[in-house]
Structure 1
Amino acid sequence: MVKVKELTIETRSAIMTLIKEGYSQREIATKLKISKGAVHRTIRRYSSTGGFKDKPRSGRPRVTTKTEDLHIITISKRSRKKTAPEIRTEINDIREEPLSVSTIQRRLRHAGLFGRVAVRKSLLRPQNKIKRLGQYP
């Protein structure tokens, strides 16, 4: 099945406005440059529901709740060096059903928290330490 580009709320409201003004479905389709079927489906949905909202979609339910997602994020932000497996063990102590590491990683990535490896920096030489402290010879 082909994925169809959905109509925006503005386009849907324009369709209903033109219908109320007396335009035919074919005229509306050519005026808005969309298919006649899209116009027909929009009119049918509006007459059955009274609004322009999309239908609820099916899909796999999320394993975590929003509060659990926030808890995962706060754990990561409080101790920045914790890895996803460490956060998982901490979360799984609380939960009945265990979470996977990939779920924890997904929640952190969605929050904008990405794992990074710190850059190795060379140690300061003794003369640079003296310069930094402001104790010139």
Structure 2
Amino acid sequence: MPPQRKLSDLNIERAIGWLQDGVAARQVAQRLAVAPSVIIRLKQRFQATGRVQERQRSGRPRVTTQREDRFIQRQAMQQRMATANNIRQRLQATTNTVVSGQTIRNRLHNFGLSEEQP
């Protein structure tokens, strides 16, 4: 299994503490089972800004919330033969969120599901 690329808030605090105590970045990475580059970037960010929060990312905001994503997943699991457009219509009727059929297909793909063809 490859090393993880992100750290939890608790592990970030641990890593910064160890780095301030003089532990080498590679040793911190081994202790937390992450790639050394993760710790090195964390150290650089902390030294440059004095903070460890990740900065805002650019890009288009998501159309659906996590709750709506779970709704889409639940609908697909309950009615295995439902098409993306059927699920889209149910989502719109239930939450008043307008999305495209392609968005539904993308969410199903993210869940490891696929649209069934009737």
Q: What is the TM-score normalised by the length of structure 2? A: 0.58
Whose Rg is larger? 1
For 1:97 and 1:87, how far apart are their aligned partners in 2?
Answer: 12
What is the alpha-carbon root mean square deviation over aligned residues? 3.7
- Aligned residue in 2 for 1:81: 81
Structure 1, unaligned runs of 5 or more: 1-6, 22-27, 29-33, 119-137
- Aligned residue in 2 for 1:63: 63
Note the 1:33-112 alignment, pairs <5 A: 41-45=45-49, 48-49=50-51, 52-112=52-112
**More RCO (CA 8 Å, sep 6+):** 2
For 2:96 and 2:79, how far apart are their aligned partners in 1?
Answer: 24
Query: Which runs of 4 or more aligned residues in structure 1 lie more than 6 Å from their structure 2 counterparts after TM superposition?
Result: 7-10
With over 3 angstroms needed to count, the CA separation of the structure-2 counterparts of 1:116 and 1:91, relative to structure 1, is closer
Counting aligned pairs with the same residue, the percent is 29
Q: Secondary structure at the match of 2:81?
A: coil
Aligned residues: 99
Q: What is the TM-score normalised by the length of structure 1? A: 0.51
Structure 2, unaligned runs of 5 or more: 25-36
